[in-house]
Amino acid sequence: MKAAIYARYSSDQQRDQSVNDQIAVCGALISREGWALAGTYTDRAMSGSSHLRPGYQSLLADARSGKIDVVVAEALDRVSRDQEHVAAFYKQMQFCGIRIVTPTEGEISELHVGLKGTMNVLFLRDLAAKTHRGMRGRVAAGRSAGGICYGYRVRRKSDAHGEPVRGGRDIWPAAGFVDGELS
């Protein structure tokens, strides 16, 4: 049986090693089952809520062309966190006669797609709400809620306990800003 590994992590704030760890876990499953590795598809720092990922698209193309018999991912949410995308992926794999297997869930069925898809949607909503809450708190405290903008640099300060105070920015005169205006 020809097996494909799909591995992904979602943001540049996660470790690149995550993909290697996922590949190792999936590779161990493939070895235990006696399958042959037909390909490894990865997407680094790409959200699972989008299906416009190069590795994912390559996996779909190879599945349609008959190069694989089974897709192995660490968990269903590595394939996608979007319920509609998971269902469409499952449907396409079923049409091609390809199984989806994860070390944690075993062979994926319609039940997994429905339940895990719903759980992933709830996770993303909860994550978005917590992220926005945190951003509002940073802004209310007079700190930056986003990345560094051109013309500013990170203010490096520590509190009374020596812990870094995050989110402070200073105008960087060398960038051409004077009193907040471009010169």
- Residue 92 above 90 pLDDT? yes
SS3 85: helix
Beta bridge partners of 169: 154
Q: What is the pLDDT of residues 42-85, one digit of tens each?
A: 998 777 667 789 999 999 999 999 999 999 999 988 998 788 88
> pTM for the complete prediction?
0.67
What pLDDT, on a 0 to 100 scale, did the predictor assign at position 183? 47
Are 75 and 40 contacting, i.e. CB atoms less than 8 angstroms apart? no
Average pLDDT in the 147-160 region? Answer: 77
What pLDDT, on a 0 to 100 scale, did the predictor assign at position 61? 97
User: Strand 157-158 to strand 164-165: parallel, antiparallel, or no bridges (unpaired)?
Assistant: antiparallel
**In the numeric block, which tokens belong to residue 169?**
């920015």
Q: Which domains does the chain have, with CATH numbers?
A: 2-127 (3.40.50.1390), 140-173 (no CATH)
Residues 6+ apart with CB under 8 A from 153: 169, 170, 172
What pLDDT, on a 0 to 100 scale, did the predictor assign at position 154? 78
Give a three-class secondary structure readout of 88-140.
Answer: HHHHHHHHCCCEEEECCCEECCHHHHHHHHHHHHHHHHHHHHHHHHHHHHHHH
